């Protein structure tokens, strides 16, 4: 072996030894206890006005929105407003917005997925 190779091997070995010493002498984390969270206390009643329905438009959706999640055929035609449309996954939706029109969306199983005005 040449003198250069020996010196290089010694430098690499010394570096590895120093790195190992530095790793072993790193400060070890100590087990610290975390204080328990305080209890929440008693539940208090808050005087608030009753929850109101969201403003959905003027399409008459309020009388049939409970059919969401039900089969489309469970909605009787007499319950639907005069202006409505039914859209499925294949139907292209027209870009016109009509606040007085009920839009009923159904899924691939013919179940009402959602209702909205528009």
> Which tens digits make up the pLDDT trace of 31-78?
555 566 666 666 566 665 555 555 556 888 888 888 999 999 999 988
Could you please report the per-residue DSSP string of 12-62? HHHHHHHHHHHHHTSPPPP--PPPPPPP---------PPPPPPP--SSSGG
User: How much is the pTM?
Assistant: 0.51
| pLDDT score for 117 | 87
The residue behind tokens 């006005």 is 49
Q: What CATH number should be reported for the domain whose range is 61-117?
A: 3.30.10.10
| pLDDT score for 99 | 86
Q: Which of 25-29, 40-44, 110-114 has the highest mean pLDDT?
A: 110-114
Name the more confident of 99 and 57. Answer: 99
């Amino acid at each position: 072996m040449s003198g250069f190779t020996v010196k290089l091997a010694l430098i690499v070995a010394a570096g590895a030894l120093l790195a190992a010493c530095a790793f072993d002498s790193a400060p070890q984390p100590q087990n610290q206890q975390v204080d328990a969270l305080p209890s929440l206390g008693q539940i208090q009643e808050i005087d608030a006005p009753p929850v109101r329905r969201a403003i959905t438009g003027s399409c008459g959706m309020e009388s049939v929105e409970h059919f969401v999640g039900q089969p489309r055929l469970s909605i009787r035609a007499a319950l639907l407003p005069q202006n409505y449309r039914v859209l499925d996954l294949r139907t292209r939706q027209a870009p016109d917005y009509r606040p007085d029109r009920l839009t009923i969306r159904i899924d691939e199983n013919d179940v009402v997925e959602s209702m909205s005005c528009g």
